[in-house]
Amino acid sequence: MTQVHLDDAVTPAPGPARKSIVDRMFDLRARGTTVGREVRGGVTTFVAMAYIVLLNPLILGASADITGAKLSAAQVTTATALAAAVMTVLMGLVGNAPLALAAGLGINGIVAFQMAPQMTWAQAFGLVVLEGVCIVLMAVSGIRERIMNAIPGPLKTAITVGIGLYIALVGLVSAGFVTRTPDSANSTVPVRLGLDGHLDGWPIAVFCFGLLLMTVLMARKVPGAVLISIAVATVLAVVLHDGFGVGDWGLTTPTLPGKVVAAPDFGLLGHVDLFGGFASAGALTATIFLFTLVLSGFFDAMGTITSVSAEAGLAQNGRVPRMGRILLVDGAGAIAGGVSGSSPNTVFLESAAGVGEGARSGLASVVSGLLFAATLLFTPIAGIVPAQAAAPALVVIGGMMVAQCRNIPWHDSDYTIPVFLTVALIPFTYSITNGVGAGLIAFVLIKTCRGKWRDAGWILTVLALVFTVYFGIDVVRAIF
């Protein structure tokens, strides 16, 4: 019998390195990311959207309900931070996607300026909860995912490009780089450079500095380029304001706060009347409000999820992993927004800023959510970063998203006009829903007129009819 010596024994090949608990939870290695990148991405997303903690109270607090009651700024601030914290962490743990949620801009205006004057705040938040219930039911039943999968690839890409232009425009406007022309109906242009056709003032200089710094750092592939640029621009803004008295910063003044900690006020939590709005505003009006909330929440989130996921490289054959769970959490965000009193919560476009910093998993969302939770106590600190320091991230990431237009089949006449309408109307009307609706209607119409209505399918045909009602909602209201 042959004797085997120890020296002759074959050394077993080393097995794969054991995954850490965090890696197993968020699939970091499979997504080509690291804990460091996810933390940077999560912090960047939070910094880019922290303004909502200050802006949402201003929007909701600018209107009174049918009884003349106004919301407390402290209570809305707490509600905004609380809902964003809970839902963003939930998105990270359940959806494992680098998507942060908070009170949706635009849709909070519907609650404040259209719904509240015709009902009490509790009744308005009750309709918000019902909106969330409708979206959750569509997510659970699989209808929402089927709708998203039914939309052709070129139109999904068009949504990404349109959103890129949209968030770039939002960044330019919020920084004051671009402004609306007063009485634009009598002007040759609706928007202009700066306040009077040219750039002026230190706040604009801070924006330009931050934009150029971010561009250079990203071109040189410096880790943390977005976050570094925002931090440096914020320090510069604080020095200019506190050291030299520079003003005109807009919503957020870059000044060191007098106090660091402020106690949260949970007075709006659970302040909900589910069905009272149907009595106060009337069944038809309340139903139209609910329809508008559902449609806006549905397609705004769809466009954002699709585009941010594509930018993160998560889409596989046009589909996003765990989409059912992501949509479920997004629908639950509307419910959380109603229960907390912060208006519907939805996925934020600013999540793209974190993706640009390297975020690829739900760990980034957990980081963003925890930072939102911290603002419950450290609200004064959240108010340090001015729009001029954060807006460059939106412009740069928006430009990166627009690059997806190279994948659009512009030569295909079935898609040319629908894609153009989608891309153009999203930024021009400041609404993802409007762009998606116009694109779908044009696509179905072209397919039908060319005798290819089967190519559009029944789902898109029904959606086109729904959007037709949406665009003509005032006519529907007048008829009924």
Query: Taking a C-beta distance cutoff of 8 angstroms, is the pair 229, 48 a contact?
Result: no
Enumerate the β-bridge partners of residue 347: 101
Residue 182, burial from CB neighbour count under 10 angstroms (0-12, 13-18, 19+): exposed
Q: Residue 161's closest CA among 444, 421, 448, 454?
A: 421
What are 299-339's pLDDT values in tens digits? Answer: 778 778 888 888 888 877 667 778 889 989 999 999 999 99
As a whole number of Å, the CA-based R_g of the chain is 24
181 and 83 in a single domain? The answer is yes
How far is it, in rounded angstroms, from Cα 480 to Cα 478? 6
pLDDT computed for residue 4 by the predictor: 44
Q: Please report which confidence band the pLDDT of residue 346 belongs to, taking 50, 70 and 90 as the band edges.
A: very high
Q: Looking at per-residue confidence, does 165 or 307 come out higher?
A: 165
CA distance 374 to 382: 9
Which residues contact residue 77 at a Cβ distance below 8 angstroms, ignoring those fewer than 6 apart?
Answer: 53, 54, 56, 57, 265, 379
CA distance 204 to 220: 24
Helix (H) or strand (E) holding 14, with range, is: none
446 in a structural domain: yes
Query: Which neighbouring-strand residues pair with 316?
Result: 319
Does one domain contain both 398 and 423? no
Among 296, 316, 293, 294, which residue's Cα sits nearest to residue 306? 316
Residue 20 within a domain = no
- Report the predicted TM-score, pTM, of the whole model to 2 decimal places: 0.72
3 vs 251 pLDDT, higher one: 251
Do residues 297 and 168 both lie within one domain?
A: yes
Q: Is residue 7 part of a domain?
A: no
Q: What is the pLDDT of residues 226-282, one digit of tens each?
A: 778 888 999 999 999 999 999 888 777 888 887 778 888 899 999 999 999 999 988
Same domain, 129 and 220: yes
Q: Are residues 460 and 320 located together in one domain of the fold?
A: no
User: 402 and 416 share a domain?
Assistant: no
Does residue 5 lie in a domain region?
A: no
Pairing of strands 101-103, 178-180: unpaired
**Structural domain boundaries enclosing 336:** 31-253+276-408
Neighbours of 219 (CB within 10 A): 9
| Number of folded domains that form the chain | 2
Cross-strand bridge partners of residue 192: 179
Q: Assess if residue 266 is contained within a domain.
A: no
| pLDDT higher at 117 or 430 | 117
- Angle in degrees, 0-180, between the axes of helices 35-49 and 362-374, rounded to the nearest 10: 50
344 compared with 15, residue with greater pLDDT: 344
- Cβ atoms of 385 and 252 within 8 Å: the answer is yes
Tell me if 271 is assigned to some domain. no
Phi-psi bin for 345: left (phi > 0), alpha (psi -120 to 50), beta?
beta
Task: Tell me: do 238 and 133 sit in the same domain.
Answer: yes
Residue 391 lies in a domain: yes
Cα dihedral 185, 186, 189, 192 sign: negative
> Residues 299, 447: one domain?
no
pLDDT given at position 383: 66
Q: For 386-438, how does the pLDDT look when each residue is reduced to its tens digit (9 = 90+)?
A: 889 888 888 887 888 888 888 899 999 999 999 999 999 988 888 777 888 89
> In the numeric block, which tokens belong to residue 428?
């021009």
Check pLDDT > 80 for residue 474. no
> Band of the pLDDT at 475, cuts 50, 70, 90?
confident
The Cα–Cα gap between 426 and 431 comes to 5
Confidence of residue 1 (pLDDT cuts 50, 70, 90): very low
Q: Whose CA is closest to 403, among 364, 352, 442?
A: 352
52 lies in the same domain as 188:
yes
Cα separation, 191 vs 1, in Å, equals 92
% of residues, the chain, pLDDT over 70: 92
Picking from 408, 426, 458, the residue at the C-terminal end of a domain is 408
Q: How many CB atoms lie within 10 A of CB 371?
A: 22
